[in-house]
Amino acid sequence: MQHYHFDTLIIGSGLAGLTLALNLAQSQKVAIITKRTLHDSSSIWAQGGIAAVLSMEDSSDTHMRDTLVAGAGLCDETITRYVVENGPQAIKWLISQGVSFTRDNNSETGYHLTQEGGHSVRRVIHTKDATGKAVQLTLSKKICAHPNITMLEHHIAVDLITSSKLPYHTDKHHSRCYGAYVLDIKADKIHTIAAHNTVLATGGAGKVYLYTTNPDTATGDGIAMGWRAGCRVANMEFIQFHPTCLYHPHAKSFLISEAVRGEGGLLKLPNGERFMPRHDERAELAPRDIVARAIDFEMKKRGLDCVYLDISHKSADFLKQHFPTIYARCHELGIDITRQPIPVVPAAHYTCGGIVTDQNGKTDLDNLYAIGETAHTGLHGANRLASNSLLECLVFGQAAAQDILNQAPTPFITLPKWDESRVTDADEEIVISHNWDELRRFMWSYVGIVRTNKRLQRAQHRINLLHEEINEYYTNFRVTGDLLELRNLVTTADLIVQSAMLRHESRGLHYSRDYPDSLPTAQNTILRRQNSN
């Protein structure tokens, strides 16, 4: 087992983590650990773009108002204004790093801006329909070339090393993070990584559901580790279901961008009839929670496997130019979007809740930060506005970097090594895959787009049983990447269900048949762990 020392340890390789690393590396030794490779994150899958105030017809007040409307009364207005006002600077930083956004010489900005659901003007800057990929690949090249950044691929964090894990810890009311235990998946060894500051940037928890637009890495690791370490967690009931995931047996997790509706795509029933105008006056451009619930309603009412998104009324040249990735993927599957509608279904897409942080990404533990989808900053409220997620990654990645650089580093101390002297190799790995499958199926059935008290109680009962099995497994056998992900998924699922059971109303992404109305006053759901370990 190796013992590493870094100024800052970043767990996760999405846009938030890479932004932070590049802003620290001029004066710090930084490590990034990622479960697979540098390019495996939700950020690289992002199609639509980044929302920011870039044109004269837009304003910070307008962007803020759209965000607050989508957030259904739960956005933190101070945080929202901070993010919106720092948006243009964040885009300029990306351009300075070499990101090539789609140009439009007829535009005052010189760039093509698109409009998405919930936005009142065109403000989403993009690189065709593969913005996340363009941004991630550009920043990744700089990460790999930087002498002060160490990339540890195929490494997964086991747990944070906090004061409570130290044999000489005495202050039970004050906790600090000193680094993390990290499993080198290929070498099958656990390393102790010490750091002055540790940052959770692991993304969301979409894989807790059977159908999701997220990559396989989105297993709620940072949220679960932060919770076990004693951090507060907020608003986990607000899971955003993207309305339009491609419905095809060979199209795992392929997203049909919000921008397709922004450019005129229409949602239709199998008979060609539009249905969104019946559900909301904004029709296809309503916020995601409304569109997803409308699709779910129509599918259940009519017994449909999917609905259809039709943009074939646009010219073939327009579609190939604006949506080359979507066109190519659909074409591979025998769907010609220039002539045919696209079969779509809702799928779990974004975790609006997470670890509670301040404006600089700081958590309840000293020297521990959380940024990106892992964090609850107060920006998204009860429903994230389209294309505000990458913006949040950029703004809080930069804010956390500045806060870290302003601190005097704490001295390194001797950390206990990982103890596996009393464990053995697992006898049956099949237990993990069965539990993983069971969890994702009952979460989809009982804690999905529409919820009831009875469904949530059923989910809670099953989660309790899984917790017992997995904890026994974790205690007695050597850890593996699959076991760690399952452990984190069950913890995250528990947080989602606990939060949902505490909200006795319908608001934003949380819709309950038992409490169909919204309460007069919007309040966050904040969970506090009694005993951290």
Instruction: Enumerate the active-site residues.
Output: 288
- Please give the DSSP secondary-structure letter assigned to residue 310: E
Coil, strand or helix at 407: coil
* Chain length of the chain: 533
Amino acid occupying residue 386: A
Beta bridge partners of 354: 234
Question: In 3-state terms, the chain is what percent helix, strand and coil (to 5)?
Answer: 40, 20, 45
3-state secondary structure 271-308: CCCECHHHHCCCHHHCCHHHHHHHHHHHHHHHCCCCEE
Beta bridge partners of 157: 182
- Give the residue among 351, 384, 151, 87 at the shortest CA–CA distance from 258: 384
Q: Which two tokens stand for residue 447?
A: 């804690």
Beta bridge partners of 150: 31
Torsion sign over Cα 62, 68, 71, 77? positive
Q: Which two tokens stand for residue 401?
A: 């970097």
Contact 456, 131 (CB under 8 A): no
Contact 223, 35 (CB under 8 A): no
The alpha carbon of residue 417 and the mean position of all alpha carbons in its chain are separated, in whole angstroms, by 31
Complete DSSP assignment for 485-511: HHHHHHHHHHHHHHHHHH--S-BTTB-
Beta strands across the sheet bearing 375-376:
375-376, 354-356, 233-234, 526-527
Give the HSE-up count for residue 16: Cα atoms under 13 Å, Cβ half-sphere.
31
Complete DSSP assignment for 101-122: PPB-TTSSSSB-EE--TT-SS-
Radius of gyration (C-alpha) of the chain in whole angstroms: 22
Q: Which two tokens stand for residue 43?
A: 């950020």
